[in-house]
C-alpha cells in the first residue's frame, strides 16, 4: 500500500505515515467540491465573510497547536511557525472585509443603456503547494479563492500531510460547506490526472520552476488558467551611502529566515566596491552569531532544513561553486549531529557559471558579489533568470525609490528592508519566478470570470 511519509527533520524520526488516496477517493472529493461550489457560488459575498472570519478565529485559538505541527513536520522555528499562523488569520480577515469591495461590479460608460464588468467564480481550483510555509502558502490562495465563490482542492507536499489535514479541518470547523475545501493525499505523479479532470477549472502552484513548468504545460494542454509562484534568487544592493550596520542585520535576517528556505529570502548580496569590505565584515559577524538548534528551543536562531535530501542538494551546489572558484568564509560543512541541519554559510568571489550565481540556493547560504558602482550593481542584480524580489539599501530615499521602481527586474522591490508578502499588496514574480499575482485585489481577480454585461 502506497504511503506518504512525515519525518521530523530535527531528529530523523518518523512522525506519521499516511495512506495515499485511491482514485475513487480523489474522484469523490472532486465531485464533492463541485457540488459544494454549486451552492457556495450563490451565497452573497457578505454572507461568505462570517465563515472566513471564523476560520481566522480558529487559527488564533489553535495557534500553539498548529505552530507545533509546522515545526514538527518541516523544522521551522516555533516562533516563526506561530507568526505564520497569525499571518494566515490576518489574510482570512483581510479578504472577509475586502472581498465585497474587490469584486463589486464596475459600471462602464458605453453606447449601451447599461454596461458593466462583473466578477464571477470559476469553480473548483486545484492548489499545488510546497512545504516551506505549509499554512501560509495555502491560505494566501484559499482565503481569496473561497471568498470569490470558488471551491479548493489542495495537493500539498507529501512531507507536510499533517498540515494539509489540519488546514482542511480549520475550514470544516469554520462551517464552510462540506467538501468546499479538501486535501488530496496523492503523490506528485498523479497531479496531471487531477488537472485534466473536467470539473477542475484552474490551477495555482507554488514551488520550483521545474514543477511549475510541468503543471503549466499540462494545464495549457487542457486550456486551464494557471498562476505560478516559483523560485527566486533575490538580489540585495548595498550602495556606498547605506547604513551598513542596519543593512548587514537586515540582510542576515532575511537570509536566515525559515533556515533560508524562502522563495523571497535574500540570496545574492551585491555591495558596491566602496563599502564591500566594511559590509562583508558586518554581514559575516551577523551570520556567525546565528545559533543552530532545535526549533522548539526559543534560544535557537535557525532550525534544520526540511529534509535531508534538500540539504544534500544545497551542499552539492556549495561544493560545485567552490570547485569553480568561489571562496567560503563561513560555514559550508555538514554537522555530524542528527537531523537535516546546515550552518549559516557565506560564499565570496561568486561569478557567472557557478550554482551560487545562477541557481536558487534554498538554505542558509549567502552569495556575496562585488559591484564596481550603482550601475554595475543593478546589472548584476538583473543578470538572473529569476525575478521574484529585490531590495536596495541607501540613505537617499529618492535614489532608492528610483532604483527599486524603475531599474530592478522583479515582482517586488523594497528599500532599506527585507522583501516580504503582505495581504494588502500583490505578490508574484517575473521571468522564471512565475506569473500571475497572489494577495491584494490582484490575487482575488486571478480566479474569477471577468464578465462584460451589455444591455442595449
**170 lies in the same domain as 286:** no
pLDDT in tens, 85-108: 999 999 999 999 999 999 999 999
For 272, counting Cβ atoms within 10 Å of its Cβ (0-12 exposed, 13-18 middle, 19+ buried), the class is buried
**Residue 314 pLDDT grade (very low, low, confident, very high; cuts 50, 70, 90):** very high
**206 lies in the same domain as 300:** no
**265 lies in the same domain as 378:** yes
Confirm whether 425 is domain-assigned: no
**Residue 378 pLDDT grade (very low, low, confident, very high; cuts 50, 70, 90):** very high
**210 lies in the same domain as 337:** no
Q: Is pLDDT above 90 for 280?
A: yes
In this structure, what CATH number is given to the domain that contains residue 267?
3.40.309.10
Confirm whether 422 is domain-assigned: no
Q: Is pLDDT above 90 for 377?
A: yes
Confirm whether 423 is domain-assigned: no
**253 lies in the same domain as 180:** no
**318 lies in the same domain as 382:** yes
Q: Which domain holds residue 116?
A: 3-230+431-455
Q: What is the pLDDT of residue 363?
A: 98
Rounded to two decimals, the pTM is: 0.97
Confirm whether 285 is domain-assigned: yes
Confirm whether 114 is domain-assigned: yes
Q: What is the pLDDT of residue 97?
A: 98
Confirm whether 361 is domain-assigned: yes
**75 lies in the same domain as 117:** yes
Confirm whether 354 is domain-assigned: yes
User: What does the pLDDT average to over 399-412?
Assistant: 98
In this structure, what CATH number is given to the domain that contains residue 205?
3.40.605.10
Q: What is the pLDDT of residue 1?
A: 81
Confirm whether 421 is domain-assigned: no
% of the chain exceeding 70 in pLDDT: 100
Please count the structural domains in the chain.
2
Q: Is pLDDT above 90 for 392?
A: yes
pLDDT in tens, 23-54: 999 999 999 999 999 999 999 999 999 999 99
**81 lies in the same domain as 179:** yes
Q: What is the pLDDT of residue 241?
A: 98
**223 lies in the same domain as 325:** no
Q: Is pLDDT above 90 for 271?
A: yes
**244 lies in the same domain as 354:** yes
**7 lies in the same domain as 118:** yes
Average pLDDT, the chain: 98
What are the residue numbers of the active site? 229, 263
**244 lies in the same domain as 222:** no
**Residue 246 pLDDT grade (very low, low, confident, very high; cuts 50, 70, 90):** very high
pLDDT in tens, 174-231: 999 999 999 999 999 999 999 999 999 999 999 999 999 999 999 999 999 999 999 9
Amino acid at each position: 500500500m502506497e504511503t506518504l511519509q512525515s519525518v521530523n527533520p530535527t531528529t530523523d524520526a518518523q512522525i506519521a505515515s499516511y495512506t495515499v488516496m485511491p482514485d475513487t477517493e480523489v474522484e469523490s472529493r472532486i465531485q464533492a467540491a463541485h457540488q459544494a461550489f454549486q451552492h457556495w457560488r450563490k451565497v452573497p459575498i457578505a454572507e461568505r465573510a462570517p465563515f472566513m472570519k471564523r476560520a481566522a478565529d480558529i487559527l488564533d485559538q489553535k495557534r500553539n497547536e498548529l505552530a507545533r505541527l509546522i515545526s514538527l513536520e518541516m523544522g521551522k522555528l516555533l516562533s516563526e511557525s506561530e507568526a505564520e499562523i497569525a499571518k494566515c488569520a490576518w489574510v482570512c480577515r483581510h479578504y472577509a472585509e475586502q472581498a465585497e469591495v474587490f469584486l463589486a461590479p464596475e459600471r462602464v460608460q458605453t453606447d449601451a443603456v447599461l454596461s458593466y464588468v462583473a466578477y464571477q467564480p470559476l469553480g473548483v481550483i486545484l492548489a499545488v503547494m510546497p512545504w516551506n510555509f505549509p499554512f501560509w502558502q495555502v491560505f494566501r490562495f484559499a482565503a481569496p479563492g473561497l471568498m470569490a465563490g470558488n471551491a479548493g482542492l489542495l495537493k500539498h507536499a507529501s512531507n507536510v500531510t499533517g498540515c494539509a489535514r489540519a488546514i482542511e479541518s480549520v475550514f470544516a470547523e469554520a462551517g464552510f460547506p462540506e467538501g468546499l475545501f479538501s486535501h488530496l493525499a496523492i503523490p506528485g505523479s498523479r497531479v496531471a490526472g487531477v488537472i485534466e479532470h473536467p470539473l477542475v477549472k484552474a490551477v495555482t502552484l507554488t514551488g520550483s520552476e521545474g514543477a511549475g513548468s510541468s503543471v503549466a504545460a499540462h494545464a495549457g494542454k487542457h486550456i486551464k488558467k494557471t498562476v505560478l509562484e516559483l523560485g527566486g534568487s533575490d538580489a540585495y544592493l548595498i550602495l556606498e551611502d547605506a547604513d551598513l550596520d542596519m543593512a548587514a542585520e537586515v540582510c542576515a535576517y532575511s537570509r536566515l529566515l525559515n533556515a533560508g528556505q524562502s522563495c523571497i529570502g535574500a540570496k545574492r548580496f551585491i555591495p558596491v566596491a566602496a563599502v564591500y569590505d566594511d559590509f562583508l565584515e558586518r554581514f559575516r559577524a551577523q551570520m556567525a552569531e546565528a545559533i543552530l538548534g532545535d526549533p522548539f528551543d526559543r534560544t535557537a536562531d535557525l532550525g534544520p532544513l526540511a529534509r535531508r535530501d534538500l540539504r544534500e542538494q544545497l551542499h552539492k551546489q556549495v561544493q560545485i561553486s567552490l570547485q569553480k572558484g568561489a571562496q567560503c568564509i563561513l560555514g559550508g560543512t555538514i554537522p555530524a549531529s542528527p537531523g537535516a541541519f546546515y550552518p549559516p554559510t557565506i560564499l565570496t568571489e561568486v561569478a557567472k557559471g557557478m550554482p551560487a550565481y545562477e541557481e536558487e540556493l534554498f538554505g542558509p547560504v549567502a552569495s556575496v558579489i562585488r559591484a564596481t558602482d550603482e550601475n554595475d550593481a543593478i546589472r548584476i542584480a538583473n543578470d538572473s533568470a529569476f525575478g521574484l524580489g529585490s531590495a536596495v539599501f541607501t540613505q537617499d530615499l529618492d535614489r532608492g525609490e528610483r532604483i527599486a521602481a524603475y531599474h530592478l527586474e522583479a515582482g517586488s522591490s523594497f528599500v532599506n528592508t527585507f522583501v516580504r508578502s503582505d495581504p494588502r499588496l500583490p505578490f508574484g514574480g517575473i521571468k522564471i519566478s512565475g506569473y500571475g499575482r497572489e494577495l491584494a485585489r490582484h490575487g482575488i481577480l486571478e480566479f474569477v470570470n471577468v464578465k462584460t454585461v451589455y444591455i442595449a
